[in-house]
Amino acid sequence: MRALQIAGTGMMAQQTNVEVISNNIANMGTTGYKRRRAEFQDLIYQNLRRVGSQSSDTGSILPSGAQIGLGVKTGAIYRIGEQGSLSQTENRFDLAIRGNGFFPVQLPSGEVAYTRDGTFGLSPEGVIVTAEGFPVQPGITVPAAARDVTINAAGEVLAKLDGQVAPQNVGQIQIAIFANEGGLEAVGDNLLLATPGSGQAQLAAPGQPGYGQVMQGFIETSNVNAVQEITSLITAQRAYEMNSKVISATDEMLSTLARLR
């Protein structure tokens, strides 16, 4: 009976759905996290009577035919890029992007990763780095003698030094955008890598057309909606139960066949 296999694919699909939802809920407090959504596709079909084939010698054509589906599969797990809320922290090296873009970060391997997590700090050398100590690109060094640091909406890093009236520009933060943000590969630690599906990073100063602005003293919170995720979780659980009912019903049908004498 095909129903056993079909219902089995349905249970596997809903298991994947629950895993995606649970990951969203687990990351409700993760800075810059973007929620995911699982999408599903139907599997191939078996033709009992192929639509459009001739049904007689006179050339009669079947108007619909008969096809039986073989279940469901996971088609994709999309990242929803909706802007998260901005939370004020009063930390001068906390940065949030209001609008499109990612902060480029250099990994120890030499690769450049991208993140929306702007919880930055300073290395012992005064370089602006992530919470893991990875330098934000392009490398910007804040002088040790700086009494205060201001980062404006255009990404200019301005240091206030003793004996100087005007702040000194010590660097320019750049942000990256991609033709297809959904094609970025998540590697953990709030980092994403460019792939052939995302296209090459296009770097520019914040505030340029198509690029977001930098907000100093803010971080972007997760865009997970708790009510929406719980609703989706209940729906997935009910769908899983219904597929299990199909397996139970099919098992009873097989039992009936086995009892025939």
As a whole number of angstroms, the distance between CA 171 and CA 177 comes to 20
90 and 68 in one domain? no
Q: Looking at the 3D structure of the chain, how many domains does it have?
A: 2
Q: Is 66 helix (H, G, I), strand (E, B) or coil?
A: strand
Would you say 7 and 247 are in contact if contact means Cβ atoms under 8 Å apart?
A: yes
Average pLDDT (66-78) is 89
The answer to whether residue 231 is domain-embedded is no
As a whole number of angstroms, the distance between CA 149 and CA 248 comes to 66
195 and 94 in one domain? yes
Could you tell me which residue, 14 or 1, shows the higher pLDDT?
14
Q: How many CB atoms lie within 10 A of CB 96?
A: 28
DSSP per residue, 169-199? EEEE--EEE-S-GGGPEEEETTEEE--TTT-
pLDDT of res. 259: 85
136 and 28 in one domain? no
The 10s digit of each residue's pLDDT in 86-120 is 999 988 899 999 999 999 999 999 999 999 999 99
Least confident of 50-64, 83-97, 188-202: 50-64
The 10s digit of each residue's pLDDT in 201-210 is 999 999 999 9
pLDDT of res. 55: 67
Owning domain of residue 12: 2-81+237-258
The answer to whether residue 227 is domain-embedded is no
Compute the C-alpha angle 40/45/46, nearest 5°: 160
190 and 73 in one domain? no
pLDDT of res. 95: 93
176 and 98 in one domain? yes
Cβ-in-10-Å burial (0-12, 13-18, 19+) of 147 comes to exposed
- Mean pLDDT score of the chain: 90
The 10s digit of each residue's pLDDT in 221-230 is 999 999 999 9
Least confident of 22-36, 48-62, 95-109, 179-193: 48-62
pTM for this entry: 0.83
As a whole number of angstroms, the distance between CA 76 and CA 162 comes to 55
Give the residue carrying structure tokens 């995911």.
36
Q: Which pairing describes strands 191-193 and 185-188: parallel, antiparallel, or unpaired?
A: antiparallel
Would you say 115 and 109 are in contact if contact means Cβ atoms under 8 Å apart?
A: no
Contacts of 184-191 with C-beta under 8 Å, sequence gap 24+, read: 184/79, 184/114, 186/79, 187/113, 189/132, 190/30, 190/31, 190/32, 190/33, 190/115, 190/116, 190/117, 191/105, 191/107, 191/113, 191/114, 191/115
Confidence band, pLDDT 50/70/90 cuts, at residue 27: very high
Would you say 147 and 160 are in contact if contact means Cβ atoms under 8 Å apart?
A: yes
52 and 151 in one domain? no
Q: Which pairing describes strands 121-122 and 72-79: parallel, antiparallel, or unpaired?
A: unpaired
